């Protein structure tokens, strides 16, 4: 079965075709990163206009790259939310229109559940065992999810304030490094001393698997302000200071993310541990997870390609396939997908 996935929840206009939930036949992404670099982050109105311009060419390109026609497509998956409402509108409206005109089933996919299926993309050789404990961590969300089967997800922890990716982006801005923050911080951190600063980890108590990154962000701000005696000017920060802050910050984020993953693994005894979302591309996080979770003797997996960590439509198509497989009758109605910034699972 071939599903065409559409993703427009933030700043990527993406379309992909995936066969049987794992085989990626095409994966097209029109990124707006260069545009948002100028403003140091995403301006929703600008993102929404760009989606409108790109959505049709991106869908055509995905079909062309897969060398397929509409008759070869068995269903459409798109994201009602969460995300920027004006951005979601383009993807959902386009998907609904196509489902109506081409008479295809239409599968709404929660953006975070989509990220979870980034781990299925291009992984045709593995039969994952449930339950799976998943840390899905991106710019907009920071969740711990227990997946008991396809379509059976339990949210067991989340960030109470910023997501880790958002903290990467804000700290990078503070250090004058640009947007998006994660990849740049990872790069400059290689030149820094990760023990140079002892940044705080939020203490939320032993009864929760939640996260908090606002205190860490403020601690980085204070370190920067102290260096320049409260005169905030990223241009003046010297490079060894920036590298040390980046390395210490990255280490603290990785440890914090893995702390809760370790606690939740002890409680839920999953058969696998998956890490997904944009921040799962981070090598310090992967190293920390490998080191600390080795003792549980369960497979630890990340998407096979960085393109399936950050926003993409292959993960949406993959999730759509497995949801449809479970309950095909649910997805016959093209009207069943409406943009909803607060969409829950």
> Where along the sequence are the contacts to Zn ion (CB under 5 A)?
138, 311
In the complex, the smallest distance separating the C-beta of residue 111 from Zn ion, rounded to whole angstroms, is 6
Straight-line distance from the first to the last Cα atom of the chain, in angstroms, rounded to the nearest whole number = 24
- Residue 80, burial from CB neighbour count under 10 angstroms (0-12, 13-18, 19+): buried
Candidate segments 48-56, 59-67, 176-184, 259-267, binder of ligand KG4 by CB under 6 A: 176-184
Contact between 186 and ligand KG4 by CB under 6 A: the answer reads yes
Candidate segments 34-42, 120-128, 180-188, 257-265, binder of ligand KG4 by CB under 6 A: 180-188
Helix (H, G, I), strand (E, B) or coil at 124: coil
If you ran DSSP here, which 8-state letter would residue 195 be given?
T
Among 105, 310, 321, 331, binds ligand KG4 (CB under 6 A): 310
Candidate segments 33-41, 60-68, 133-141, 319-327, binder of ligand KG4 by CB under 6 A: 133-141
Among 117, 120, 153, 168, binds ligand KG4 (CB under 6 A): 168
**Contact characters 267-286, ligand KG4, x per CB under 6 A:** ----------xxx-xx----
**Look-up of token digits 């440890």:** 255
Instruction: Give which of ligand KG4, Zn ion, none residue 50 binds (C-beta under 5 to 8 Å, depending on kind).
Output: none
How many residues appear in the chain?
Answer: 345
| Residue 293: φ, ψ to 5° | -100, 0
**CA–CA separation, 94 vs 114, rounded Å?**
18
| Residue 40: φ, ψ to 5° | 70, 15
Cβ nearer to ligand KG4, comparing 213 with 322: 213
Among 5, 105, 108, 182, binds ligand KG4 (CB under 6 A): 182
Contact between 314 and ligand KG4 by CB under 6 A: the answer reads no
Instruction: Give which of ligand KG4, Zn ion, none residue 339 binds (C-beta under 5 to 8 Å, depending on kind).
Output: none
Task: Quote the tokens at residue 309.
Answer: 């960590």
Instruction: Show the CA angle centred on residue 113, arms to residues 83 and 262, nearest 5°.
Output: 110
In the complex, the smallest distance separating the C-beta of residue 315 from Zn ion, rounded to whole angstroms, is 9
- Whether the Cβ atoms of residue 48 and residue 91 lie closer than 8 Å to each other: no
In the complex, the smallest distance separating the C-beta of residue 73 from Zn ion, rounded to whole angstroms, is 24
Q: Phi-psi bin for 36: left (phi > 0), alpha (psi -120 to 50), beta?
A: alpha
Cβ nearer to ligand KG4, comparing 73 with 276: 276
Contact between 139 and ligand KG4 by CB under 6 A: the answer reads yes
Helix H segments across the chain?
A: 33-37, 44-66, 85-102, 111-116, 164-174, 181-189, 214-227, 239-268, 283-293, 314-326
In the complex, the smallest distance separating the C-beta of residue 10 from Zn ion, rounded to whole angstroms, is 7
Candidate segments 134-142, 191-199, 297-305, 323-331, binder of ligand KG4 by CB under 6 A: 134-142
For ligand KG4, the binding residues (CB under 6 A) are 10, 138-140, 165-166, 168-169, 180-183, 186, 277-279, 281-282, 310-311
């Amino acid at each position: 079965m071939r599903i065409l996935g559409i993703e427009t929840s933030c700043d990527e206009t993406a379309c992909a075709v995936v066969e049987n939930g794992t085989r990626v036949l095409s994966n097209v992404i029109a990124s707006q990163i260069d545009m948002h670099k100028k403003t140091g982050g995403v301006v929703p109105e600008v993102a929404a206009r760009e989606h409108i311009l790109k959505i049709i060419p991106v869908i055509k390109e995905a079909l062309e790259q897969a060398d397929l026609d509409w008759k070869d497509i068995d269903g459409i998956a798109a994201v009602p939310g969460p995300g920027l409402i004006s951005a979601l509108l383009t993807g959902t409206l386009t998907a609904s229109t196509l489902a109506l005109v081409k008479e295809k089933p239409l599968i709404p996919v929660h953006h975070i559940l989509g990220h979870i299926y980034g781990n299925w993309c291009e992984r045709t050789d593995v039969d994952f065992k449930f339950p799976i404990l998943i840390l899905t961590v991106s710019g907009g969300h920071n969740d711990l999810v227990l997946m008991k089967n396809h379509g059976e997800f339990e949210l067991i922890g989340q960030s109470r304030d910023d997501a880790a990716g958002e903290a990467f982006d804000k700290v990078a801005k503070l250090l004058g490094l640009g947007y998006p923050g994660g990849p740049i911080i990872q790069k400059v951190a290689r030149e820094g001393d990760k023990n140079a600063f002892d940044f705080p980890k939020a203490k939320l108590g032993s009864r929760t698997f939640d996260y908090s990154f606002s205190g860490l962000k403020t601690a980085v701000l204070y370190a920067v302000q102290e260096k320049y005696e409260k005169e905030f000017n990223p241009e003046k920060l010297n490079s060894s200071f920036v590298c040390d802050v980046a390395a210490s910050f990255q280490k603290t984020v990785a440890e914090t993310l893995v702390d809760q993953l370790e606690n939740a693994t002890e409680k839920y005894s999953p058969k696998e541990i998956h890490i997904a979302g944009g921040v799962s591309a981070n090598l310090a996080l992967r190293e920390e997870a490998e080191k600390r979770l080795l003792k549980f003797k369960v497979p630890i997996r990340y998407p096979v390609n960085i393109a399936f960590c950050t926003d993409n439509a292959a993960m949406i198509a993959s999730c759509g396939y497995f949801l449809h497989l479970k309950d095909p009758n649910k997805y016959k109605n093209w009207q069943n997908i409406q943009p909803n910034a607060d969409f829950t699972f």
